[in-house]
Structure 1
């Protein structure tokens, strides 16, 4: 089975009432990378991008950005 990391881009943009494009602008993370994460087309993200997103949105708890889930739960 195993675990995988899910980056919660859609939840973040909804919670903060911003678009993926705006998140890209304020975090300085490529729009294409954020869009691919949001659409499940990419499963990896660098720690530096997580830090940039956290700083841009004033997030102190990394669990707001990523989740660890069972592989069987893949959408």
Structure 2
């Protein structure tokens, strides 16, 4: 199983850019980019919480999901 951040889908659904999300959350644009491209080896809970709060996400499955294998 692999935990995948669906920031691409979430931002697209909200017509937001990575830069706008970085400004909304106070996170570095590089951190947002790494999450967007699933390049992080581990997830920072504080980052996920800031993103969820900024985007008014109530259900974490909207932001992250478990996928079979290495997809």
Q: 2:4 aligns to what SS in structure 1?
A: strand
TM (normalized to structure 2)? 0.87
Over the aligned positions, Cα root-mean-square deviation in angstroms equals 1.3
Hey, which bits of structure 1, 4+ residues long, moved more than 4 A? none
Deviations along 1:9-49, one digit per CA (max 9) or x if unpaired, are 11111011110010111012221111122223224221111
TM (normalized to structure 1)? 0.83
Q: Aligned pair count?
A: 71
Tell me which of the two structures has the higher relative contact order, counting C-alpha pairs closer than 8 angstroms and 6 or more residues apart: 2
Gaps of 5+ in 2: none
